[in-house]
């Protein structure tokens, strides 16, 4: 059964970017539809929020809400969740740790929009090395966060967050070679490299 995918989100990276990166990792085509008429479009969404993934096949159409539900769904469909229970659980632990990190970074990344207090921003950068040490500990000597030979959705989340940090404060990763190597390794995946080259 052939399935087509359409991703609905605002015209920015935000919560939809890991989903786009999942499609790139799996080398699966999708339609990226920017939503610019949000007040009018909102009632058409399942939960009154974006992103929404629309799947269409011979059985009909399905709309999936919640960014992490979409990520995990696609990870299962595209075999990016881990090859066995050990890898899946390892990837899940890493993904939840990365999501905790992402939630702390959001007020810093979007400080102007969220009117984040300067003290909160300073504390974030002060605490960041401890967070990065934890992540390097989870990665250990493995190539990917799932512990296997192929990337998982946890690596997608890690790359997106690392990439945002490098864009905000590149020197923040200077003392964490394993994470920088992961970032470079993921970025070099042919289908990901092709996506990033044309990314706005």
Where along the chain do its domains lie? Answer: 4-78, 85-189
State the pLDDT at residue 200. Answer: 64
Which CATH number describes the domain made up of 4-78? 3.40.30.10
Q: Which residues contact 39 (CB under 8 A, 6 or more apart)?
A: none
CATH level 2 (architecture), domain 85-189:
Up-down Bundle (1.20)
Q: What is the largest CA-CA distance in the chain?
A: 53
State the pLDDT at residue 130. Answer: 96
What's the CA dihedral at 76, 82, 86, 89 to 10 degrees? Answer: -60
State the pLDDT at residue 102. Answer: 94
What is the DSSP secondary-structure string of 90-154? HHHHHHHHHHHHHHHHHHHHTHHHHT--HHHHHHHHHHHHHHHHHHHHHHTT-SSTTSSSS--HH
Per-residue pLDDT of the chain (200 residues; tens, 9 = 90+): 699 999 999 999 999 999 999 999 999 999 999 999 999 999 999 999 999 999 999 999 999 999 999 999 999 999 999 999 999 999 999 999 999 999 999 999 888 888 999 999 999 999 999 999 999 999 999 999 999 999 999 999 999 999 999 999 989 999 999 999 999 999 999 999 999 999 86
């Amino acid at each position: 059964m052939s399935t087509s995918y359409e991703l609905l989100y605002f015209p920015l990276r935000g919560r939809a970017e890991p989903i786009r990166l999942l499609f790139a990792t799996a080398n699966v085509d999708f339609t990226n539809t920017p939503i610019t008429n949000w007040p009018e479009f909102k009632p058409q969404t399942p939960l009154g929020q974006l992103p929404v993934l629309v799947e269409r096949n011979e059985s009909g159409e399905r709309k999936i809400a919640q960014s992490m539900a979409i990520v995990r769904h696609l990870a299962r469909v595209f075999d990016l969740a881990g090859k066995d229970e050990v890898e899946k659980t390892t990837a899940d632990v890493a993904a939840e740790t990365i999501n905790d990190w992402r939630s702390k970074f959001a007020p810093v990344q979007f400080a102007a929009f969220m009117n984040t207090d300067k003290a909160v921003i300073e504390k974030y950068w002060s605490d960041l090395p401890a967070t990065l040490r934890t992540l390097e500990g989870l990665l250990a000597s493995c190539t990917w966060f799932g512990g296997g030979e192929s990337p998982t959705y946890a690596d997608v989340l890690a790359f997106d967050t690392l990439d945002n940090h490098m864009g905000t404060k590149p020197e923040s990763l200077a003392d964490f070679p394993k994470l920088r190597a992961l970032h470079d390794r993921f970025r070099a995946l042919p289908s990901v490299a092709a996506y990033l080259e044309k990314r706005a």
